[in-house]
């Protein structure tokens, strides 16, 4: 008499292969690696014929999924091209605004960097110089154009 239970009705009674006892959970990363190595050895020991049979069984499903993926890619292509064209058009239409925003952002970052490395007592002086430099080009560009007479050349004397 055996202490094993009778096999279920859908399982053949002649199959008496021993089921290995459940393994302990591997302890830590090293234990997990050892468990994987042991499982890889068992898989490698399986017959090549069984692996071939499994691959042949899976082939129709794999081909179906590949066809679906190809059809989805072909269906999405026009939408992707249109989105790329729209993005390009938007950038062309708004390039001045994009550049101005980028320039302003770079200025803010540069100002913050200067404030970070400038000692606190010197910051008001740096800010005053910066403001003076910003207003200087405005003053010269707003001034009315004056006729500037050329200097007398040395040959006319």
Helices (H), the chain: 28-45, 48-93, 95-117, 123-142
Asked, for residue 12, whether it belongs to a domain, the answer is: no
Token pair for residue 56? 């042949």
Name, in order, each residue with C-beta under 8 angstroms of 32's C-beta and a sequence gap of 6 or more. Answer: 26
Asked, for residue 24, whether it belongs to a domain, the answer is: no
Asked, for residue 64, whether it belongs to a domain, the answer is: yes
Asked, for residue 80, whether it belongs to a domain, the answer is: yes
Radius of gyration of the chain (CA): 40
Please report the pLDDT score of residue 137 as a whole number: 63
- The mean pLDDT of 115-128, rounded to a whole number, is 89
- The reply to whether 88 and 121 lie within a common domain is no
What is the C-alpha separation between 127 and 130, in angstroms, rounded?
5
Please report the pLDDT score of residue 45 as a whole number: 67
> Which H/E stretch holds residue 1?
none
Average pLDDT, the chain: 76
Name, in order, each residue with C-beta under 8 angstroms of 115's C-beta and a sequence gap of 6 or more. Answer: 123
Please report the pLDDT score of residue 91 as a whole number: 95
Asked, for residue 36, whether it belongs to a domain, the answer is: no
pLDDT over 70, % of the chain: 62
What is the C-alpha separation between 65 and 59, in angstroms, rounded?
10
Residue 26 predicted with pLDDT over 50 = no
Asked, for residue 5, whether it belongs to a domain, the answer is: no
Q: Contact 15/7 with Cβ under 8 angstroms?
A: yes
- The mean pLDDT of 110-138, rounded to a whole number, is 86
Asked, for residue 77, whether it belongs to a domain, the answer is: yes
pLDDT bin (cut points 50, 70, 90) of residue 50 is confident
Residue 10 predicted with pLDDT over 70 = no
Residue 84 predicted with pLDDT over 80 = yes
Residue 93 predicted with pLDDT over 90 = yes
Kindly report the pTM of this predicted structure: 0.39
138 vs 70 pLDDT, higher one? 70
The range of the structural domain enclosing residue 52 comes to: 46-93
**What are the CA-CA distances from residue 55 to residues 28, 42, 52, 60, 92 (Å)?**
33, 18, 5, 10, 52
Looking at 37, 65, 93, which one is the last position of a domain?
Answer: 93
Domain count within the chain: 2
């Amino acid at each position: 008499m055996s202490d094993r239970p009778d096999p279920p009705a859908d399982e053949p009674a002649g199959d008496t292969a021993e089921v290995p006892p459940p393994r302990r959970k591997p302890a830590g990363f090293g234990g997990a690696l050892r468990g994987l190595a042991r499982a890889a050895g068992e898989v490698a020991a399986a017959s090549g014929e069984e692996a071939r049979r499994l691959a042949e069984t899976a082939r129709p499903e794999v081909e179906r999924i590949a066809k679906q993926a190809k059809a989805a890619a072909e269906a999405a292509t026009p939408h992707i091209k249109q989105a790329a064209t729209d993005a390009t058009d938007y950038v062309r239409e708004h390039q001045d605004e994009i550049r101005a925003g980028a320039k302003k952002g770079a200025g803010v970052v540069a100002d913050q960097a200067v404030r970070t490395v400038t000692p606190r007592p010197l910051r008001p002086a740096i800010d005053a110089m910066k403001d003076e430099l910003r207003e200087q080009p405005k003053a010269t560009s707003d001034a009315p154009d004056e006729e500037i007479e050329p200097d007398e050349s040395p040959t006319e004397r």
